[in-house]
Structure 1
């Protein structure tokens, strides 16, 4: 079962309207958190590293990525660019990354994976977006098929063609032009597609080497061994990995050949037209295996993307990746009736509603024995012990667990009164300090005026 690691010191507990639940991973470009919006929807929130000025165009880039047709991608939902922690919010995809899956792909599964990534790139490039950081870590194997993620680092062509920095992607999947200063664009994504397909068939990074210089030499001078790939995919990968970006097929040309079936042995013809067919009306998200957003208007779907999405959806990956709300509800259901009666009061002790608004979680004295102890222990990884206190391990739990949200709303007035009070221990300390100061002032006054007299 995949569960996000707990937040560590220095991690924010909330950003914008989102409550952070735990860490999903960290890379050189940022930290990815499991988070929840005020309605309890589970999302992936990436906090970007580096100089905030480098992300000045974040909102524009996120808007461009959001215009991509919803096929084999994780939708970009929001972006926050004000303040010292710029972040991108995207749809949460259950399932491991291609790298973490630890499996070798062959036959129909390999074709489905290659088609899914080509479909995602076709959708992105059609919206004028270059991914720019496509690696096996940015392909998730979800229950509805493979999905390309991490559009928080997506770049528009205007930025991509002028950057040309190695830091734009993982070196082993960077196109030759990334190292020569020519600038990178959509062809660099196609190069990464070829390298990822070969990785999926072998389990090894195709240009791996001990040093960065060695990686660069392999990419610039020596092509990888493509013999593990079957006929059509071998030809497509060879074309995609061409050193000259102008010689590579487009993502759309890749997809056109892939959906035509493995019977074609030739690389795609430059400028190939998509299959002829009627434009289909679909709801955003339908091709990703979900139901789209409530009330979402149908969009005119490219028939090539529809076909690619259908092929990709056949590659389904079973995963055990429950959200916090599911974990909490399962623990609650496993209790006996007497224990359930106590859950509400035990969990409401963790919550404070300050007078200024918002919601704060806190630690409370740990029960020493009896039924309350069994209740706390039943929630396992959701509650953590710290010395003589227990606290919620994930501050987002009140957002993620609908039952707890209902309890908080029903008891809002009492929780707000609790939030407005000064704790008795703190009040006693304040009285003690004030009294000591008063005595010190009195003593000092007597000494001064006594001497003067």
Structure 2
């Protein structure tokens, strides 16, 4: 989006994974092409610190300084629980128990570290190839018609702690079994009334979960079990669902679908863009349209004087030149990285901005050696040039006809 940074710290931002009232989460890559999630909160940084767990998208770095404080987490590639239910329907039996236990174990890890999640709901659980993973801990939720997972104490203005996460866990398990948000309502007042006064029906749950979820949804925080008490024996794995492909995967799939001639022209185009050379595309319009539609390339807008139109005031138009949608492309796509491993001598802007330095800087000794070498070469060149000019003057016709001059 306009105004989004292209780079934070050592991470290149390829696009938004999500955005809300608490901040923006970006799809990010480091210089080696590894994928991460970078979260830029609105307001103060959440109370998190580096932490790893099999069912938690581990926080790797917390950077409070700089113009945009941010949190770097491992990238959990999978479909959210809410999307999964729209694709495959509710969970039941051992799969439901496995899902509930995985989420409970992630909460128990946070609570042992003295942290809470604060916004557990179906959109914050991803079904990855490594099992369910809970993402974005430490951001407190907000009451609303779509957020019916906050504990009663949060509705009455108290600060929910670990017991609030347990309440949200109970609502999440019930959602996974029914496909319906607990305490849902048509207005904020109805949601508040249900959270404070209604007990949802848990009879649809298998016996091992039924009592645990009922206790977790207690209105009294002191009556709820701890997250560690929610763990049950697991006999099956929760089937994963694929998440969004990486930028490199998108680029490689498009490249593989092109004929050989178009592949060569695309390579030349991207290498030219990396060197900062304004290229001619050489690509057919259908191929170029696919590159633009895939989000790999863009045509940057050009500012123009404000012009009144029927649709409003026109302040920019689409330009003719091409540019990478993000500098992350030069890191996230292994094939392109191989093309640019040895950039040409005239590579300047994109190579310097997007690639690691090609060679280390010279130290003081290296500088003195290079200076001395160039000085000697210059002296030899000037001496040779002087000798050639002297011989030319000696044997030129003008030197033979000029009269002798008496300097006395």
TM-score, normalization by structure 1: 0.66
* Residue 15 to residue 170, structure 1, CA distance change in 2 (3 Å): farther
Partner of 2:265: 342
Aligned with residue 55 of structure 2, among 59, 72, 89: 72
* Residue 236 to residue 174, structure 1, CA distance change in 2 (3 Å): same
Partner of 1:130: 116
After the TM superposition, which residues 198-237 of structure 1 pair with which residues of structure 2 at under 5 Å, given as runs? Answer: 198-237=174-213
Larger deviation, residues 101-110 vs 401-410: 401-410
**Is 2:311 the partner of 1:397?**
no
Larger deviation, residues 236-245 vs 9-18: 9-18
| Deviation readout 1:50-100 (Å, 9 max, x if unpaired) | 3xxx33xx5xx332xx235x1211111222222342221111111211112
**Is 2:95 the partner of 1:112?**
no
* Aligned-residue offset at 1:392: 1.9
Aligned with residue 166 of structure 2, among 190, 193, 197: 190
* Aligned-residue offset at 1:122: 1.5
Partner of 1:43: 36
* Residue 131 to residue 412, structure 1, CA distance change in 2 (3 Å): farther
| Deviation readout 1:281-305 (Å, 9 max, x if unpaired) | xxxxxxxxxxxxxxxxxxxxxxxxx
Q: Distance in 2 between matches of 1:177 and 1:318?
A: 34
Q: Distance in 2 between matches of 1:323 and 1:225?
A: 41
Q: Distance in 2 between matches of 1:127 and 1:399?
A: 34
Partner of 1:87: 70
* Residue 318 to residue 176, structure 1, CA distance change in 2 (3 Å): closer
Q: Distance in 1 between matches of 2:70 and 2:4?
A: 13
Larger Rg: 2
Q: Distance in 1 between matches of 2:351 and 2:269?
A: 17
Aligned with residue 14 of structure 1, among 7, 12, 32: 7
Q: Distance in 2 between matches of 1:347 and 1:384?
A: 12
**Is 2:306 the partner of 1:384?**
no
* Residue 223 to residue 75, structure 1, CA distance change in 2 (3 Å): same
After the TM superposition, which residues 131-280 of structure 1 pair with which residues of structure 2 at under 5 Å, given as runs? Answer: 131-151=117-137, 153=139, 171-255=147-231, 258-259=232-233
User: Is the Cα contact below 8 Å between 1:133 and 1:170 reproduced in 2?
Assistant: no
For the residue of structure 2 that corresponds to 1:75, the secondary structure is strand
Partner of 1:411: 343
Larger deviation, residues 16-25 vs 323-332: 323-332
Would you tell me which structure has more helix in proportion to its own residues? Answer: 1
User: Is the Cα contact below 8 Å between 1:13 and 1:20 reproduced in 2?
Assistant: yes
Q: How many residues align?
A: 329
For the residue of structure 2 that corresponds to 1:347, the secondary structure is helix
For the residue of structure 1 that corresponds to 2:57, the secondary structure is coil
Q: Distance in 2 between matches of 1:77 and 1:412?
A: 36
TM-score, normalization by structure 2: 0.73
Q: Distance in 1 between matches of 2:349 and 2:27?
A: 31
User: Is the Cα contact below 8 Å between 2:81 and 2:126 reproduced in 1?
Assistant: yes
Q: Distance in 2 between matches of 1:376 and 1:37?
A: 27
User: Is the Cα contact below 8 Å between 2:151 and 2:195 reproduced in 1?
Assistant: yes
Runs (4+) off by over 4 Å: 165-171, 370-380, 417-420
Q: Distance in 1 between matches of 2:181 and 2:336?
A: 45
Q: Distance in 2 between matches of 1:182 and 1:169?
A: 19
Q: Distance in 2 between matches of 1:204 and 1:219?
A: 15
